[in-house]
Amino acid sequence: MSLLKYNRIPEPELMESKEQVLAYAEADFALPHSMIIQALKNQLNSRFHPGFVLDLGAGSGDMTYRLYEAFPTSKIYAIDGSEEMLNANRNYFQKKNVTANIVWENHKIQDWIPESGFDLIFSNSLLHHLTDPYDFWSAIQRSTYEESFIFIADLLRPDSFEEADHLTQKYAKEEKQILKEDFYNSLCAAYTMEELQIMLSKLRLNGKLHLEVISDRHWICYSRLSP
Q: pLDDT (tens digit, 9 = 90+) per residue, 176-212? A: 898 899 999 999 999 999 999 999 999 999 999 999 9
Determine the structural domain holding residue 194 and report its residue range: 18-223
Task: Give pLDDT, residue 27.
Answer: 76
The amino acid at residue 81 is G
Residue 32: inside a domain, yes or no?
Answer: yes
Q: Is residue 150 domain-resident?
A: yes
Q: Report the sign of the C-alpha dihedral through residues 202, 204, 207, 210, in that order.
A: negative
Residue 188 lies in a domain: yes
The reply to whether 11 falls in a domain is no
Whether 179 maps to a domain, the answer reads yes
Vertex 136 angle, CA 170 and 149, to 5°: 90
Number of domain units in the chain = 1
Mean pLDDT lowest for which of 13-17, 93-97, 153-157?
Answer: 13-17
Taking a C-beta distance cutoff of 8 angstroms, is the pair 135, 108 a contact? no
Give me the pLDDT at residue 5, please. Answer: 58
- Percent residues over pLDDT 70 in the chain: 96
pLDDT at 2 over 50: no
Question: Does residue 122 belong to any structural domain of this protein?
Answer: yes
The domain spanning residue 144 has which CATH number? 3.40.50.150
pLDDT at residue 28 is higher than 50? yes
75 assigned to some structural domain = yes
Q: Is the pLDDT of residue 217 over 70?
A: yes
Overall average pLDDT of the 157-177 stretch: 93
Task: With respect to residue 135, please indicate whether it lies within any of the assigned structural domains.
Answer: yes
